[in-house]
Amino acid sequence: MQVKVLGCSGGIGGNLRTTSLLVDDDILIDAGTGVGDLSIEQMAKIDHVFLTHSHLDHIACLPLMLDTVAGLREAPVTIHGLPETLHALKTHIFNWIIWPDFSAVPSETSPLLRYAEVAQGKAVSLSGRSITPLPANHTVAAVGYWLDSGAGSMVFTGDTTTCDALWEQVNQIENLKYLLIETAFGNDELALAVTSKHLCPSLLFDELGKLKKSAHVYITHLKPGEGAEIMYHIEQSSQHAGLRGLQNMQVFEL
């Protein structure tokens, strides 16, 4: 299993892209603006999109990607998400007001997209690859994802703040290799991090103290214009040496 980072920023500007991970050549984890860097041919190969939650920075390119590949696919693209996430898409995006309802186009019997509900702890198996939703604590219903090739695993937290239930499950993963965890704000914005249910370095360190497994840890979802300062405070921690910022186009092998 190969995981390529298409976007890992909390916003846009210059070369910044919002969250999306490409798994092999047929699966997306979230569909932020990084998806727009794929070629049309690459987009047409996407069979499955797993969404962590419904916020715009994680779904921004989904409507546009579907429109781009509409004439290039015979099978529908499956959108996996929590019931609340799928409801938000149906109600607010694919509603004929913002964008066409691709679950009924070109016809209800042969649509461009179909929806598949996920549930925490229930693995989805795709050609020997296991993708399992994990607990998250955000302002809307949200999950992280555990990607398991059999030979190794990656955990992507998605957007979350303090979440003991997440670590209870992560600490049971025997072949954990990589942890991608968000840190959206600096310590000077602790109150905002708490209100918006994100992490800042001090909260990040508290959360990593609950991790009992050895893993390479990468920081994602840094806010535009604040990334260097946030990473500076993270890298100053002697207790958590080796933490690195996630980069666009970074590739992981599992």
Can you give the pLDDT at residue 244? Answer: 95
Q: Tell me the C-alpha distance between 240 and 22, whole Å.
A: 28
CATH number at residue 113: 3.60.15.10
Can you give the pLDDT at residue 78? Answer: 99
Where do the H-state alpha helices sit in 32-99?
40-44, 56-59, 62-69, 83-92
Q: Which residues of the chain have pLDDT under 50?
A: none
Can you give the pLDDT at residue 212? Answer: 96
Q: Tell me the C-alpha distance between 123 and 120, whole Å.
A: 8
> 124-126 and 129-135 as β-strands: parallel, antiparallel, unpaired?
antiparallel
The tally of domains found in the chain comes to 1
pTM (two decimals): 0.97
Can you give the pLDDT at residue 238? Answer: 64
Can you give the pLDDT at residue 240? Answer: 76
With contact defined as beta carbons under 8 Å apart, do 147 and 154 qualify?
A: yes
The amino acid at 65: M
Can you give the pLDDT at residue 163? Answer: 98
Spell out the residues 6+ positions from residue 80 whose beta carbon is closer than 8 angstroms to its own: 48, 49, 50, 51, 116, 117, 118, 124, 131
Domain boundaries, position 53: 2-253
With contact defined as beta carbons under 8 Å apart, do 149 and 111 qualify?
A: no
> 77-81 and 113-117 as β-strands: parallel, antiparallel, unpaired?
parallel
pLDDT tens per residue across span 191-224: 999 999 999 999 999 999 999 999 999 999 999 9
